[in-house]
Amino acid sequence: MMTAHKSSWNDWRETALQFFKFGIVGGVGFVVDSAMLYIGIGALGLGRVAAGFFSFPFAVTATWIGNRRFTFSDAPPMPAARQLAKFAAVCAVGLIFNRGTYSLLVSTIPFVYDYPIIGLLAGTGVSMFFNFFASRRHVFGR
């Protein structure tokens, strides 16, 4: 009886640690996403929503690398291109939550329009849970 309890505790601890690591990697991805968002707005002259979609692939690539090497480094081996494609597919679904929240906020709240990083942060937070559990299960084989 004690073994089952220990096993579930260990599973929970492993998941919590991975989620924490996922958050660290997500923080790095947020910095990449923010930098590319402002490059899209400032250097490329894109609108707020278009710049949000422009920056997304850069964030996906950065977070995939971090999650492959740090968060899920013990995952079963998979060719990098295949794993990146699977991760991008998960993130594309997460995009609905992420950029949907961002787009709604920058389009309806003047303060967020003036400071789009706030909308980006909100969208990232909304999609984080979905992306973690979907990536853990469908990309990194947990």
Tens of pLDDT along 50-102? 998 899 899 999 999 999 999 999 999 999 999 999 999 999 999 899 889 99
Alpha helices in 67-115 (DSSP H): 80-108, 110-114
Spatial contact of 87 and 54, defined as CB atoms under 8 Å apart: no
By residue range, what is the domain housing residue 90? 16-138
| Residue 96 to residue 18: CA distance in whole angstroms | 23
Q: Which of 35, 25, 137 is nearest to 86 (CA)?
A: 137
Place of tokens 């964030």: 59
> Looking at the domain assignment, is residue 2 inside a domain?
no
* Residue 6, pLDDT score: 66
Rounded Cα–Cα distance for residues 56 and 97 (Å)? 13
Whether 1 is in a domain gets the answer no
Counted domains in the chain:
1
Task: Tell me, yes or no, whether 131 lies in a domain.
Answer: yes
